[in-house]
Amino acid sequence: MSQTPRHIKTDRSLNRPTERRAEKAPASRPVQPAQPDFFAEEKPAPAEPPRRAGGSGGAKPPRRSTPAGGHEPPRRRKKKKKTPLWLPLAVTLAVLAVISGVVVYAVGMVGRVEENLRPEEDAPSITEEIQTLEEYKGDVVNILVCGIDYEEGRNYSNDPTSNDGMTDMILYCQFDIKGGALRMLQIPRNSLVATKSRKVALSNGKTYAATNYQINSVALSNGGSVAALAEVIYDQYKLPVDYYVTVDMQALVEMVDNFGGIEVYIPHDMSFAGSALKQGYRNLDGTSAEFFVRCRHGQGYSNSDIDRLNMQRYFYAGLFKRVRSMGITDVLNQLPLVFNNYIHTDMDLTTIAKMLVSFTRIDSANIMLAQTPVFMGVPNVGVTDTFDGYSCVVPDAGSIAELLNTYFRSYTGPVSASELNLVTNDWPHGTASTSANVQFVGQLDKESDDAILGGNTDVAGATTTDGQPAGQ
């Protein structure tokens, strides 16, 4: 963080020795109006015979015997030790070298980050029509965060060599800068967005493809365009989008390992396909973290994807805690690596810096997580004679409208369920939907703290959010 340069006073007139002329010393020397009177309390000097300038700077000289003839031999002036001319120059150059090194390092780092942030030349950008209204810009920023997953053995595209690259994690983040809050909305990956011809019909007449009828295929089905997904979310949920961020989920292992692991609270035992994690506050390496955020089968996962969304919240809480504990230098050192290998965005560096500053100022009690309520157990869509169709969930428009009006429309006003362009009424569904499960990160931190205080942790030196050590 830059600071205003300190003004260094270079006037050294107060440090120069004062010479006296060969005359009687006055009681005190007149002080210039602009100079403080440092001698106001000094008593008048006693009268003494006239003496030459120099000597001891005003002190009474020692008595000396006068040689025969009454003539005093000339006194030899004491040479003043001169500061080598090169010394101030060397000090100045050294300071400049240090400053230059810091500047070069900072500029180089900024250059590397900006280079990695630069989107592809043909990458579509978020259109102005779906962004935050001009009068609210600066007060709130809305960001669409997507985890791109290349799961082995799954291929919904027409390219048999592709591992699809679905947006299996969709997280809508609203930074309320003015209100000091962060609100995050999880949208289930298999939420139904189309029922006819695998096409999403927007209110403005535009259409987008959705290969599997679900929201996680929109970007892939339209040339990898996250901007297309942003338009669908804006049209169906009436949520503005200013920027997007994509995270390569395949690189999660490496990213977590580069962080030295992430400390996460695991609310219940997990076990599936040979991988297992025990309940408690644990330090997860990359492989364990990948299992933690991907798992949707086994004990505790009766609702599959919905339960996975709930578990992922604990990972977010652990990641937030880790970022907050890092110094600014560590964060800067991680930026080139993170944005080069794992993350892509259309935000510029200035916007990212503002978001980081805003995030560090937000109390965990003001970071909210929720998910869009959906109907489960609905008939598969896209069934043919040779294909069983796609398992999907249907958005619950009424519950979603209530959720969004309560937490996400502080600046735009309420939007009714009928104004949402969801496909709720376009596909058979039951009468009961899932919960929005509104939680605050402060609540998740409390669960972690309780585990630490109870000694249910394998993290050496683990401390609670307020610095208390682990119990025994």
Task: Supply the pLDDT for residue 354.
Answer: 78
pLDDT in tens, 102-115: 445 555 555 555 56
What value does the mean pLDDT take over residues 224-229? 94
State the pLDDT confidence band at 96, using cuts at 50, 70 and 90.
low
**How far is the C-alpha of 204 from the C-alpha of 154, rounded, in Å?**
33
Mean pLDDT, all residues of the chain: 80
pLDDT exceeds cutoff 60 at 99: no
Q: Are strands 181-186 and 367-371 parallel, antiparallel or unpaired?
A: parallel
pLDDT exceeds cutoff 90 at 50: no
What value does the mean pLDDT take over residues 37-59? 46
pLDDT exceeds cutoff 50 at 149: yes
pLDDT in tens, 247-282: 888 788 888 998 889 999 999 999 999 999 999 999
State the pLDDT confidence band at 177, using cuts at 50, 70 and 90.
very high
What value does the mean pLDDT take over residues 330-339? 72
State the pLDDT confidence band at 226, using cuts at 50, 70 and 90.
very high
* Burial (CB count <10 Å: 0-12, 13-18, 19+), residue 385: exposed
**How far is the C-alpha of 122 from the C-alpha of 105, rounded, in Å?**
31
What value does the mean pLDDT take over residues 69-82? 59
The answer to whether 240 and 157 have CB atoms below 8 angstroms apart is no
pLDDT higher at 170 or 250: 170
Shortest CA distance to 159 belongs to which of 208, 207, 221, 214? 221
The answer to whether 211 and 157 have CB atoms below 8 angstroms apart is yes
Which of 143-157, 202-216, 229-243 has the least mean pLDDT?
143-157
Task: Supply the pLDDT for residue 352.
Answer: 82
pLDDT higher at 424 or 472: 424
For the entire predicted model, the pTM comes to 0.75
pLDDT in tens, 430-471: 888 999 999 999 999 999 999 999 999 999 999 999 889 998
The answer to whether 262 and 284 have CB atoms below 8 angstroms apart is yes
**How far is the C-alpha of 132 from the C-alpha of 137, rounded, in Å?**
6
pLDDT exceeds cutoff 70 at 378: yes
What value does the mean pLDDT take over residues 388-399? 95
